[in-house]
Amino acid sequence: MSVEAPIAEDVLEFLIKSIVEDPDAVSISTGGDSRCVFSVTVGDGDMGRVIGKRGRVANAIRTIVRAAAVRDDAEIDVDFVD
């Protein structure tokens, strides 16, 4: 059984594409069994923008997307793949 969270995925995609310089290079894959896991891949040089200083941007993105996942009635994790 795979958990789906379409609202959270749309919010995640919007946030990531708003931050990076190359929005066409953004890729989000979904996986997980009991929890929905989003694996985010971005273009060369954009990972620093997504993670931010001391991971603050990444943590903010995770917080917002988890809040959006409440509407999907799902628990999610966001992983940033280098």
15-28: per-residue pLDDT in tens? 999 999 999 999 99
Q: Rg of the chain over CA atoms, in angstroms?
A: 12
Domains and CATH numbers, the chain: 6-81 (3.30.300.20)
Encode pLDDT of 51-78 as tens digits: 999 999 999 999 999 999 999 888 999 9
For the entire predicted model, the pTM comes to 0.90
Between CA 40 and CA 20 the distance in angstroms is 12
pLDDT of residue 3: 67
Q: 1: pLDDT confidence band, cut at 50, 70 and 90?
A: very low
Taking CA atoms, 12 is separated from 1, 22, 27, in Å, by 22, 16, 11
Between CA 28 and CA 45 the distance in angstroms is 17
pLDDT of residue 5: 87
